[in-house]
A and B are shown apart, each in its own frame.
Chain A
Amino acid sequence: MNGHCNVNVNDTVEEFHCNSFSDLIIDSKKSVVHRKHDTSRKNEEDQSRLPTLEAAYTSILRELGEDTDRQGLLRTPLRAAKAMQFLTKGYHETIEDILNNAIFDEDHDEMVIVKNIDVFSLCEHHLVPFFGKVHIGYIPNKKVVGLSKLARIVEIFSRRLQVQERLTKQIAVGISEALQPKGVAVVIEASHMCMVMRGVQKMNSCTVTSTMLGVYLEDPKTREEFLTLSRSA
């Protein structure tokens, strides 16, 4: 998926506790969240990889016909390499890291929605950004999560080379594995620069993907309530 080549795909996978989820939807062996992988990119690795990235960007600038010695481009390879590392920093992070303390026992079983979370990611096919908004809803099962942690989960998965469908599913699965709620719903509306700036060049196009898990999948009324609430201004 967001395949880190140093991950051993035969790693043992934890039991996936599903209460009312349909097992067919998520193959836990393939779940990126679930794999116990070390964060294979730490800061030292980033630093050590910087020269290679810089050299690659210098070569790109030359091949495009630019003059790499002109003032505006002198440090561009370094800046572009760092920018690209920042835009893919999600590979560093795991859900366990950010969620550790922020799950609380509350006797709440009504829907919780956090909407209009800005999301920025990189298209894995063209290495061009896509960005938009994420709306997340979940129905807690005695455990609620700190609200900003939902946004942080979005950050972890979006700061990678992504495909919007996969991003939506990873966010949903990440939340459901962390909280075991009764249901999770994630909707992403995004604009893809690879479609807007090049190729078919449709300025106003917007791609919408959604993942419904648990009670959101089974009960149409719940799903409708989420969709209505997340759309209202």
Chain B
Amino acid sequence: MEHSKQKQYGSSENKETGHSSVLNGHFDGTVKRPAAGPSLPPAAESGSQRPVMESWREERTRSVEDNEMSLPSLAAAYTTILRGLGEDPQRQGLLKTPWRAATAMQFFTKGYQEKIIADVLNDAIFDEDHDEMVIVKDIDMFSMCEHHLVPIFGRVHIGYLPNKRVLGLSKLARIVEIYSRRLQVQERLTKQIAVAITEALQPTGVGVVIEATHMCMVMRGVQKMNSKTVTSTMLGVFREDPKTRDEFLTLIRS
């Protein structure tokens, strides 16, 4: 899935630097890499092509200590930005803005700090003899566009057909949080959520639909106020059986 897309871009650097497996640039081929190091890009990692189904199991690559350590440089960068825009960083309203903006940006990318299994899903998978569709819809989602660093917000609708194992409902929303609080592309976000649920639960099928508004399109550029972008990922029986997909799509619309 994501791997083949990366290869299609035909960049020969990808294979050499091993970055072809990098999506939200945080993970690398070796999941055994200790996660305690400061947040450096996985520069010299082997170019091992991880199977894409491992992608959700990425190690935590940013810690709370990392956040604290990077705060001064982030604040300095924001001060430079304020000056570069022609503002006066010393005026009262802007005095602490670099720090606030830096902390805010770290919050908007806190998805890099969290591990799916350990932090989120550990206890909340239950054995139930249920094989009908489970849908959680209208989950508010906030993300950051990786191209312009402006917010994306919208709603996520998730449906899955359990295969003897169900997931705590809020954990679906937490999975959304982990992947959305990053620098994202809506297509990738949709797929990551679907793949994570698939790998955690091995259900019969998963469907994820995201409808979002992109501030990069609304506030700037083409400036279309009411535009919405809709992406979806259907896995398993949702993909193969049109009736199941139909039922899911109808139920999320009602």
User: B-contacting residues of A (Cβ < 8 Å)?
Assistant: 2-5, 40-41, 45, 49, 52-53, 55-57, 59-73, 75-76, 79-81, 83-88, 91, 118, 120, 124-129, 131, 161, 163, 193-194, 196-198, 203
Contact present for A67 and B19 (CB under 8 Å): yes
Task: Decide if B183 touches A91 in the complex (CB within 8 Å).
Answer: no
C-alpha gap A41/B14 in the complex (Å): 40
- The CA of A56 and the CA of B78, in the complex, are separated in Å by 7
B19 touches which of A45, A69, A128, A203 (Cβ 8 Å): A69
Closest 8 CB pairs of A and B: A67-B25, A65-B39, A67-B41, A5-B88, A63-B70, A80-B149, A127-B101, A56-B80
Enumerate B188-228 residues with CB–CB distance to A below 8 Å. Answer: 215-216, 218-220, 225
Question: How far, in whole Å, are A30 and B101 apart by their CA atoms in the complex?
Answer: 27
Could you tell me if A56 and B106 are in contact, using CB atoms closer than 8 angstroms?
no
Known contacts A56-B84, A65-B109; A131 and B219 CB within 8 A of each other? yes
Q: Contact between B225 and A49 (Cβ–Cβ < 8 Å)? A: no
Q: Mark B156-181, 1 if CB is under 8 A from A, else 0.
A: 00000000000000000000000000
Q: Least Cβ distance of A167 to chain B in Å?
A: 12
| Further contacts, 18 of them, CB under 8 A, given A131-B219, A161-B85 | A4-B86, A4-B87, A41-B85, A49-B86, A63-B73, A63-B74, A63-B77, A64-B183, A65-B61, A65-B62, A66-B112, A67-B19, A76-B183, A85-B85, A118-B225, A126-B97, A161-B97, A197-B142
* Contact between B81 and A56, CB atoms less than 8 A apart: yes
Q: How far is the CA of A80 from the CA of B107 in the complex (A)?
A: 18
Q: What residues of chain B lie closer than 8 Å to A127, measured between beta carbons? A: 78, 81, 97, 101, 104
Residues of A within 8 A of B244 (CB): none
Partner of B220 from A5, A71, A83 at Cβ < 8 Å: A83
- A73/B183 contact (C-beta < 8 A), A56-B77, A129-B215 known: yes
Q: Which of A66, A91, A163 contacts B85 (CB 8 A)?
A: A91
A61 to B14, CA, bound (A): 20
Q: Which of A60, A72, A80, A81 contacts B78 (CB 8 A)?
A: A60
Residues of chain B with a CB closer than 8 A to A69's CB: 17, 19, 41
Residue pair B104, A66 in contact (C-beta under 8 Å): no
Report A166 CB to chain B, min CB distance, Å. Answer: 8
Question: Which has the most chain B C-beta neighbours within 10 Å: A3, A59, A64, A124?
Answer: A64
CB-CB under 8 A for A161 and B77, given A63-B70, A73-B25, A87-B220: no
B residues whose Cβ falls under 8 Å from a Cβ of A:
6, 9, 11, 14, 17, 19, 22-26, 39, 41-42, 61-62, 66, 70, 73-74, 76-78, 80-88, 90-91, 93-94, 96-97, 100-101, 104-109, 112, 140, 142, 146-151, 153, 183, 185, 215-216, 218-220, 225
CB of B22, distance to nearest CB on chain A (Å)? 5
Decide yes or no: A40 and B86 within 8 Å by CB, A66-B183, A67-B42, A68-B41 being known contacts.
yes
Complex Cα–Cα for A75 and B78 (A): 18
Question: How far does the alpha carbon of A80 sit from the alpha carbon of B97 in the complex, in Å?
Answer: 18
Using Cβ atoms and an 8 Å threshold, which residues of chain B touch A196? 142, 153
Could you tell me if B91 and A64 are in contact, using CB atoms closer than 8 angstroms?
no
Contact B81 A84 (CB under 8 A): yes
A60 to B9: give the CA distance in the assembly, Å: 26
Decide if A124 touches B219 in the complex (CB within 8 Å): no
Nearest CB in chain A to that of B28: its residue: A67
With beta carbons under 8 angstroms apart, the residue of A45, A70, A73, A197 that contacts B153 is: A197
A73 touches which one: B78, B107, B146, B220 (CB < 8 A)?
Answer: B146
- Report whether A163 and B150 are in contact in the complex, using a CB–CB cutoff of 8 Å: no
Nearest chain A CB to B17 CB, angstrom units = 7
- Set of chain A residues within 8 Å of B84, measured between Cβ atoms: 49, 52-53, 56, 81
In contact, B6 and A3 (Cβ under 8 angstroms): no
> CB distance B107 to A83 under 8 Å?
no
Give the residue name and chain of the A residue nearest to B19 (CB). A70
| A194: chain B residues within 8 A (beta carbon) | 104
Name the B residues within 8 Å of A84 (CB-CB). 81, 85
